[in-house]
């Protein structure tokens, strides 16, 4: 019998992770594009690291930070009586960390494709940096932002390695779809595992399919606009 809790929890974790990733990814890409400072290259490498590290390694590093003996985990436990490890928030944290590089890279590429002359023109007309960012930078980078959001959501939805390290597999509390698939297969319940595989595959395929259609339609629209201008 299928349990809907892993599906609901996975969607909640992915959505909440997406909110954090959206803010952090845009902010990080904006800073990296506009400011030069010592250690910038190393910091950018750290931003990309969760994309290439095995998820279980990312989860282990998070465990060292937020576990009961970790600096963050110990502080939260001793000072605020808050425990992150083995809670749904730990799953959100894992989803945020592993999906952040996708949002960052997509946003960074979108920002770099913007003609700086347009932003400079707005500044010469008296627009503040915040207004330039909201009215020029973000609208022109919208396509890259949407791509990053879709890919980040799909990545957070399918996260397994880091999640099991910091959130564990607690049915009804921290069990997401990937965890449910793994443990259903471990218990030889291939039918249940297959149902969960089908559900998450349909969700992620639908997201990527829509993104491809949207990208194609946008490209065709720009091509038609360019042809008219040439005429």
Which pLDDT belongs to residue 77? 87
Residue 16 near residue 159, CB atoms below 8 Å: no
The whole-angstrom separation of Cα 142 and Cα 216 is: 15
Which pLDDT belongs to residue 211? 92
Residue segments in the chain with a per-residue pLDDT below the cut of 70 = 222, 225-231
User: Would you call 86 helix, strand, or coil by DSSP?
Assistant: coil
Which pLDDT belongs to residue 80? 86
Rounded to a whole number, what is the distance in angstroms from the first to the last CA of the chain?
A: 62
Tokens of 61: 């590093």
The whole-angstrom separation of Cα 133 and Cα 87 is: 36
Which pLDDT belongs to residue 225? 61
Which pLDDT belongs to residue 229? 46
* HSE-up of residue 149 (Cα within 13 Å, Cβ side): 15
Over residues 45-86, the pLDDT tens digits come to: 999 999 999 999 999 999 999 988 889 989 988 888 888 999
Question: What is the value of pTM for the model shown?
Answer: 0.90
Domain encompassing residue 35 = 5-230
Task: State the total domains in the chain.
Answer: 1
Burial of 219 (0-12, 13-18, 19+ CB in 10 A): exposed
Candidates 5, 15, 36, 32; CA nearest to 152 is 15
The whole-angstrom separation of Cα 54 and Cα 49 is: 10
* Domain of residue 31, CATH code: 1.10.3720.10
């Amino acid at each position: 019998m299928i349990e809907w809790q892993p599906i609901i929890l996975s969607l909640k974790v992915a959505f909440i992770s997406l909110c954090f990733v959206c803010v952090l990814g845009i902010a990080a890409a904006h800073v990296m594009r506009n400011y030069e400072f010592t250690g910038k290259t190393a910091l950018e490498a750290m931003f990309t690291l969760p994309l290439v590290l095995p998820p279980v390694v990312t989860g282990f590093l998070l465990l060292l930070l937020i576990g009961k003996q970790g600096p963050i985990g110990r502080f939260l436990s001793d000072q605020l009586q808050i425990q992150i490890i083995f809670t749904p928030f730990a799953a959100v944290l894992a989803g945020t960390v592993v999906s952040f590089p996708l949002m960052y890279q997509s946003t960074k590429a979108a920002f770099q494709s913007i003609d700086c002359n347009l932003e400079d023109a707005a500044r010469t007309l008296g627009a503040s940096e915040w207004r330039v960012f909201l009215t020029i930078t973000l609208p022109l980078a919208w396509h890259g932002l949407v791509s990053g959001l879709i890919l980040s959501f799909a990545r957070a939805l399918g996260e397994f390695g880091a999640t099991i390290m910091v959130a564990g597999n607690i049915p009804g509390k921290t069990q997401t779809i990937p965890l449910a698939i793994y443990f259903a297969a471990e218990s030889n319940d291939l039918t249940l595992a297959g149902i969960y595989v089908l559900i998450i595959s349909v969700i992620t395929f639908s997201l990527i399919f829509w993104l491809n259609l949207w990208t194609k339609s946008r490209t065709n629209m720009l091509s038609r606009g360019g042809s008219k201008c040439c005429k």
